Structure 1
Amino acid sequence: MKINNQEVKIENYDIFTYRRIRRAIGYLGISLPVLLVVLSFISFFETPVQHSISHYYYTNLREIFTGALCAVGLFLICYKGRGNISVWKNDNLLTNIAGVMALGVALFPTNPDIISDKMYSLIPLNEKWIGWLHYGFAALLFLIFALLAINVFTIRQEKEIQTPKSVLNENNIYRFCGYSILTFIIMVPVAEKFYLFPYSTLVFESLSLFAFGIAWLIKGRALGDKGVIGQKLYQENNSVSTEKVFEE
């Protein structure tokens, strides 16, 4: 089948737009914990380092916390991924659910340290179960992040079996990030229960977001896809072929 130059240009534009969205999601995921912690050390904001990212909701940095999560949520909802008969590999479905979960995490806060404090949520009640909604949204959000990295991002390269893959192949990075997310999230309640070290929840949540962000940045080709990087990570030549564009 012949494809005219205009169609190729449109497809190239679409795929590069997708990559920009992926990079935006990745940068937001990585920058959120970094920005919150860095600003906590600036006395102007009068915000000490919190023991979890979610507790920044009750500080002067609340708008950064909720704003970044809402931005990620909207990006994920607007992102039109590929469908799949398997729910666990359905890019479009999983990103839509993740987007809704991200909005839920932002709009329904964790329980404050003093439960009698006003929660300022969409539901005008001071009930502990509202905080449990937050935990449920967060748990499902990170689970989907891991599923996307392990099951969805790896689909394209799984079809490519003709050439040997480098240890730096993108699929190895996606799987490492996905399993890291699962590990770090499991470590949150474990570290809290056994009090392994101060700010353990903040540390493991941040590491989970770093892993999430790295996976999306690699998927968005933030390092480029030319030369050695293209060959090692994506098994591509120095130019993006029409076939690769349509597989993305």
Structure 2
Amino acid sequence: MSETPNTPDTDPHVMSYHRVRQALGAVALLLPLSLILGGVGVEGSLRDSLSNYFFSPLREVFVGALWAIGVFLISYKGYARRSDERFSDLVLARISGLSALMVSVFPSLEDCPVKTESCVVPERTVTQILVHTGPSAWVHNISAVVFFLCLVVFCLVQFPKTSDLARRRIYRACGYGILATLVLITSAFLAGRLGGEAAAEFVSRHNLIFWGEALGVWIFALAWLTKGKADQSAIRLMRKIVPGA
């Protein structure tokens, strides 16, 4: 008796690859949510940015999630480079993965909330000792921008190569969404630094940079969950739980 041939939806290797993509999306989805719930629970308010949670009791959550995302992206091979492509999935993934790791190991400038005792200011990290605190913050910020720009290229250039029209639309919406969050983050940053005291107070009071970064990471999560066909996995799980669904 011949074995039933595997299809893309039943091949264990393909399904495993999808699950890894889904895991990446899940980590990105949970990162801002964990910082929101943990930050409000511990400090009673949100920080000005995701990066500032490096100096909070949630430092391990922030750094650990970035390492999980960075290591996956560095090991992600993707599709082989075609003759008409300037770069491959492999190159783009390694640049974005390395950027995520650099965001985690090059801290930004510490920013402790006023009137709180929960600010954790560790001894200077190895990277801060090597390049000093100010340059470390610049490396951190530049790496974050590179990371988000790589996600834009993934969503607008690499991912839409699929033949599925609905998924192409989701990827493109994610790409433009991340670009919009970059505009929001940059505008809020410049307003906070150059717009005077009133503008800085407005940006801080509404946590514009934090929400811009959180939204960008959530859009990144949606793109990778879509790439990992999380919707199909959810349907299969539902059919197991509710026969005939």
TM-score, scaled to structure 1: 0.76
**Offset of 1:180 from its aligned partner?**
0.6
How far off is 1:123 after superposition? 4.0
**Conserved? CA contact 1:87–1:93, under 8 Å:** no
Q: Match of 2:63?
A: 66
The 8 Å contact of residues 21 and 79 in structure 1, kept in 2 or not, is answered as: no
Q: Which residue of 2 aligns with 1:102?
A: 100
Aligned partner of 1:184 in structure 2 is 181
Going from structure 1 to structure 2, the CA distance change for 1:6 and 1:141 (only over 3 Å counts) comes to: farther
Q: Which residue of 2 aligns with 1:237?
A: none
Matched, 1:208 2:205: no
Structure 1 counterpart of 2:149: 143
Could you say which residue in structure 1 is the equivalent of 2:86?
87
**What is the CA distance between 1:9 and its match in structure 2?**
7.2
- The structural deviation recorded for 1:119 is 4.1
Aligned equivalent of 1:41 = 40
Name the amino acid aligned to 2:63.
T
Distance 1:36 1:12, change over 3 A: same
Residue by residue over 1:111-154, the C-alpha shift from the partner in whole angstroms, topping out at 9 and shown as x without a partner, is 2238x995424341533111100011110000001111111111
Unaligned ranges ≥5, structure 2: 113-120, 192-198, 236-245
Q: CA deviation at 1:225?
A: 6.9
Identity in percent: 29
Matches within 5 A, 1:91-170: 91-113=89-111, 119-125=124-130, 126-157=132-163, 165=165, 169-170=166-167
Q: CA RMSD in A?
A: 2.7
What is the rounded CA distance, in whole Å, between the counterparts of 1:72 and 1:38 in structure 2? 21
Aligned pair count?
Answer: 211
Note closer, same or farther for the CA distance 1:226–1:23 as it changes in structure 2 (3 Å cut). Answer: closer
Contact map agreement 2:153 2:175 (CA 8 A) in 1:
yes
Which of 166, 170, 174 is residue 171 of structure 2 equivalent to?
174
Cα contact 2:55–2:122 (8 A) shared by 1: no
Return the alpha-carbon distance in structure 2 between the equivalents of residues 65 and 213 of structure 1. 15
Change (3 A) 1:117 1:41: closer
Quick check: 1:47–1:60 contact (8 Å CA) kept in 2? Answer: no
Partner of 1:15: 14
Deviation of the 1:48 alpha carbon: 4.2
Higher helix share: 2
Compute the displacement of 1:6 (Å): 8.3
Cα distance change on mapping 1:63 and 1:136 into 2, 3 Å: same
Distance 1:110 1:56 in 2: 10
One-letter amino acid matched to 2:207: Y
CA–CA separation in structure 1 for the residues paired with 2:187 and 2:79: 36
Q: 1:184 to 1:226 in 2, by over 3 A?
A: closer
The letter for the 1-side match of 2:141 is Y
Q: 1:24 to 1:117 in 2, by over 3 A?
A: closer
Determine if contact 1:47/1:61 at 8 Å carries over to the other structure. no
Letter in 2 for 1:224: Q
In structure 1, C-alpha distance between the alignment counterparts of 2:110 and 2:181, rounded to whole Å:
23
Task: Deviation per CA, 1:51-73: give whole Å up to 9, x if none.
Answer: 00001011111100000000001
Paired residue for 2:207, among 180, 199, 203? 199
